[in-house]
Structure 1
Amino acid sequence: MLAHLILKDGTCFNGFAPLGRGGGGEVVFTTAMAGYQEILTDPSFAGQMVCMTFPEQGVYGVHGDLDEAPRPWAAGLICRRLTLQPDHTRALGDLAGWLKRHRIPVITEVDTRALTHHLRDAGAQPGLVWTEADGSLAGGKAAAAQLADMSGQALAGEVSCRDRYELLTPGARFRVAVLDGGIKGSILRQLSAAGYDLEVFPWDAPASELTAPRFHGLFLSNGPGDPDALPGMRKEVEACIGRIPIFGICLGHQLLGLAFGGRTFKLKFGHRGANQPVLDLATRRIEITAQNHGFAVDDASLPPEVEVTHRHLSDNTVEGLAHRRLPVFSLQHHPEASPGPHDARGAFARFGRMMEAFHA
């Protein structure tokens, strides 16, 4: 079925909707060459239609061990070509069939290079996959113009778990409370591999539960949406500071920045991909990281007792924070991912050393 990708600013890209389904969300791009299943199931992509800059998608099909969540959270997939017959001996099926089962819109045959250039120049923005069955192009443009921007959207409650649950590790050294704002399965696996028992709490859990005496540390997860639209979550995180060692990633990093008294702001087109260079200011070591975020912490707004520990080498934005006295640190990127070498995974061991020192 013929379709258009219509951006809020009125720009249109021709394409084809092989599943015959339209939809909408913030249109963003990722520079990852692979990992489409992990991307589509990452809760941090909730409310977003993802443009894959690599032209061919679905080559290795879908696999049972690649999901970051039990279901896809991305609002849609935008790509140049979609392989219908995957070439992998362990594939459980093809990407198109998987998307259809989960009712995820997809548009193919899009000039993804031109779309990426436009998003870089004009910024990430809402858009629609508008099929020929949805009506006239003029009607699609009118509908796209009314779409809500990502700023101000509180999405953590939509993707978080509903009830507390445990993940136990044989011989665990520490018990960690996890505040779930949209956590990825790979992050939970890395925390378990580091030797921690985990209790995962919904996004609106109070500080009194997160800092209960049985916990040695608190982990703040990744997640979607605007961190500034989560004042209740920020308030509870603020109440935890100084009471327990804290490690935050992505949304958790941004919430800590807000809890410290800082501000966050929306990036023009965000950082999304498996090849983002980050400088560790202490070691001067460059880490190649995986990232997925559209908001950043404003370092000029932070108090003197909070130091910037990492910088993004493309735009000098904040990639890591640490309190100068208290056992609290955070990273904007996703250290559990594997864009090549496991450059940033040492953060999980650092969390353990912090808990060990605090409880000595």
Structure 2
Amino acid sequence: MKAFLILEDGHVFTGTSIGAQREVISEIVFNTSMTGYLEVLTDPSYAGQAVTMTYPLIGNYGICYEDMESERPWPDGYIVRELSRIPSNFRSQDTIQNFLEKYEIPGIAGIDTRALTKILRESGTMNGMITTKEYESLDEVLPRLKAYTTGKVVEKVTCREKKVLENDGLKVALLDLGAKRNIARSLHERGCQVTVYPAGTKAEEIIAAKPDGIMLSNGPGDPKECTSIIEEIRKLYETDIPIFAICLGHQLMALATGADTYKLKYGHRGGNHPVRDLETGKVYISSQNHGYAVDTKSLDPAVAVPAFENVNDGTNEGLRYTGKNIFTVQFHPEACPGPQDSSYLFDRFIHTMEVKKNA
């Protein structure tokens, strides 16, 4: 069946419908990863967005449900050049077409994703519609596209109740802002007992549990929308509990301590982004998925200083908090892009907690 991708600037792409045949309006973004499409689909940080995969062939190794980063996929839509319908992998359990249909995610294949990506890079991220309806005029469509906002999507993706991954080691409180499973897994594999809290949990409840450390997860949307969460994170900052934050958690900690964030032109989404450790000069290959960044000009050095920067565009990729056992990163050390380039950050967090506990 014929399908259309309509952008808010009036560009129209014609392709073939994949997945669910329903109309959807969303923010259109692109991801440059060559593999890991299931991890992309099940990353809660994509809630409120439709994802364009720049790699031309998607789905060739099928779907392995064990690799899902959450219980379900989160993007509103999926956009590819070519969808492989005959997967070849000994671990494959399903096709990506069936997966999209099962979770009612509409998509479009057969379009020039290279041209679409160039538009998004030159004009910036914009809203769009995936539809099987052939509109005679865009006059009724474009106002709807321009009016769309992702809204408060953290509330949509967070867990509904507290859960515990039992272990005998250090106790970590993980605030689920849209956490990928591998964050909790990375801590659990290092011996930690991980208690996962819903995003709306009060700081007092977390502090009362006397964790050895606090983890602030990744998540979707504009960080400035999370006003009530920012207030609670400020309370966590004021304790002496070691804190490690990733992606949205990194941005929210910055906002909670007086810094500012801004929207990037087209964001960083992919598994091949180089980041530089400003202390050692060492460069790591990182996995990233974010459309906002911390404004380093707004930082008070008495509160926090830059710790990492993006090699491509110089934007901030991490902060070290002055006089605190707190460090935060914009990228995903749990995502294995290097494949283990930055997983040492979890070991650093473990060490920080041990030193604090034994002090």
When the two structures are superposed, what TM-score results if normalisation uses the length of structure 2?
A: 0.96
CA–CA distance in structure 2, aligned partners of residues 79 and 3 of structure 1: 12
Report the CA distance between 1:24 and its aligned residue. 2.0
Report the CA distance between 1:239 and its aligned residue. 0.6
**Percent of pairs identical after alignment?**
41
CA–CA distance in structure 1, aligned partners of residues 143 and 62 of structure 2: 33
Alignment-mate amino acid for residue 311 of structure 2: L
In the alignment, is the contact (CA less than 8 A) between 2:26 and 2:50 conserved in 1?
yes
Does the residue aligned with 1:18 lie in a helix, a strand or coil? strand
Report the CA distance between 1:186 and its aligned residue. 1.1
Q: 1:135 to 1:10 in 2, by over 3 A?
A: closer
- The match for 2:2 is 2
Report the CA distance between 1:25 and its aligned residue. 1.0
- The match for 2:110 is 109
Segments of 5+ residues of structure 1 without an aligned counterpart are none
Q: Deviations over 1:59-109 (max 9, x none)?
A: 011002110011100111100011111111221111001110110011000
Report the CA distance between 1:358 and its aligned residue. 1.7
2:231 matches 1:235: yes
- The match for 2:123 is 122
Q: 1:45 to 1:145 in 2, by over 3 A?
A: closer
CA–CA distance in structure 1, aligned partners of residues 57 and 130 of structure 2: 19
Segments of 5+ residues of structure 2 without an aligned counterpart are none
Q: 1:144 to 1:34 in 2, by over 3 A?
A: farther
- The match for 1:324 is 322
Does the residue aligned with 1:293 lie in a helix, a strand or coil? strand
CA–CA distance in structure 1, aligned partners of residues 295 and 219 of structure 2: 19
- The match for 2:343 is 345
When the two structures are superposed, what TM-score results if normalisation uses the length of structure 1?
A: 0.96
In the alignment, is the contact (CA less than 8 A) between 1:211 and 1:218 conserved in 2?
no
CA–CA distance in structure 2, aligned partners of residues 275 and 41 of structure 1: 19
Q: 1:262 to 1:78 in 2, by over 3 A?
A: same
CA–CA distance in structure 2, aligned partners of residues 139 and 131 of structure 1: 17
2:157 matches 1:156: no
Alignment-mate amino acid for residue 141 of structure 1: V
2:230 matches 1:267: no
Alignment-mate amino acid for residue 351 of structure 2: R
- The match for 2:199 is 203
Instruction: Report the number of matched residues.
Output: 355
Q: 1:194 to 1:242 in 2, by over 3 A?
A: farther
Q: 1:350 to 1:242 in 2, by over 3 A?
A: farther
Q: 1:83 to 1:143 in 2, by over 3 A?
A: farther
Report the CA distance between 1:11 and its aligned residue. 1.5
In the alignment, is the contact (CA less than 8 A) between 1:49 and 1:78 conserved in 2?
yes
Alignment-mate amino acid for residue 17 of structure 2: A
Q: 1:117 to 1:144 in 2, by over 3 A?
A: farther
In the alignment, is the contact (CA less than 8 A) between 1:80 and 1:108 conserved in 2?
yes
